[in-house]
Amino acid sequence: MSAILVQGYHSLKGELKIQGSKNAALPMMAAALLHKGTTVLRHVPRIQDVYCMMGILESMGCVCDLRDHVLTIDAGEVTDIRIPKEGGKAMRSSIVLLGALLGRCREAFVHYPGGCSIGSRPIDMHLEALSRLGAEIREEEGVLHALAPRLEGNHIHLPFPSVGATENVLLAAAAARGTTVLTGAAREPEVEELCRMLEAMGAGIRGLGTSRLEIRGTDNPGSVVRDVPGDRIVTGTCLSAVMACGGEAVLRRSSPGHLECVIGTMKKMGARIKVREDVLEIRMSGRPKAVSVETGPYPGFPTDLQSVFMVLMALSEGTGYLKETVFEARFATAKELHKMGAAIIIEGDEACITGRPGLRGARVQARDLRGGAALAVAGLAAEGETRITDCHHIFRGYEDLCGDLQSLGAVIRREK
């Protein structure tokens, strides 16, 4: 397995362009199934999860072509309605293909999805919501078989604003008869981007950016050319790297409007940040100031940046607290940070973190996608060398984390 080697104690300075959003690209790829023709997505990140989704679509009969960062998907013929077990187990986002397949083919076979081990993340809400649109779903030898001869608009309420469940409802409702009213919907920017794509394909959607969506289906979704927005989590990771090491950076295509809560927290910790349209400028000197952070659905603090903020708080002046309200197993990275000298005490869903002037290099393991990136940031602020193993998790969501950080002056490289 590949590893990442990091040499710490180098301040950062430079400029980079943020990759396309993983969490936006994957449901947009699923939406391409609704159109019996060609869909073009631009600014697509070249990451493992995108390649995995391409493989799943190709197994169904689609033709996918990713050149540079432009992805063309020809879904003129769908020859198989089964999501391969390997693809479904490798990537949790494959579950959004359930709504898309029901919208296109009115039938689907899917395995329970996999992905990072950061919590149980049940899909009961997905299945209940789709059943409200007319789908009959039963389990057959560990495989979910969904059948919907007719999809009809309905009123649906989600008891928790699940991003995946919201996306599944959108994809199925966009091809259903009549109007669907969805309350309790997730408000994440990636959901709004999917709404805009479905609108461009011919669906009518009201309430973008709110928890109440009205979706009017279309019986003939059309072709579209769409740009994937910049990845707000990659942006947050790079901003955190500058805060951990000190220095300054300019991040282009950074989607700052999607990071207001994060930017506000970073300013409280001592970062000087300027926003210019789609560009962020950050300057940091001295240690971060301790704060208390609680994760939550958008527009709250994103759980995907909890691990990297744990690193910042481990370096801060004072004692801070992190409360995780979304995924119960997201504190796994704390065990690895302990090896680097971090003072972190976990009690239930809360972490108490006493900051220290620096960390020490160590051999650590990337236990999940975001935690692995956080360890890279920790290595930048640690004395000596840090070796991060099991980096395949990182490559699921970061196109070139080492290259991005190198462009800012970091001493980091991938070892094969």
Q: How far apart are CA 278 and CA 255, in angstroms?
A: 6
What is d(CA 30, CA 168) in angstroms, rounded to the nearest whole number?
A: 10
Which of the residues 52, 62, 64, 116 is marked catalytic? 116
Give CA–CA dist 260/301, Å, rounded: 9
Given a contact cutoff of 8 angstroms between Cβ atoms, the answer to whether 311 and 241 are in contact is: no
Q: Which tokens is 71 given?
A: 């992805």
Region class of 134: left (phi > 0), else alpha (psi between -120 and 50), else beta: left
**Catalytic site includes residue 116:** yes
φ, ψ (nearest 5 deg) of residue 340: -95, 5
As given in the structure block, the two tokens for residue 140 are: 């057959």
CB atoms within 10 A of CB 138: 10
As to burial, measured by CB atoms within 10 angstroms (0-12 exposed, 13-18 middle, 19+ buried), residue 159 is exposed
Q: Please state whether the peptide bond connecting residue 189 to the residue before it is cis, i.e. omega within 30 degrees of 0.
A: no
- Alpha-carbon torsion, ordered 291, 160, 167, 132, to 10 deg: 180
| Tokens encoding 254 | 């950074």
Burial of 347 (0-12, 13-18, 19+ CB in 10 A): exposed
Catalytic residues: 116
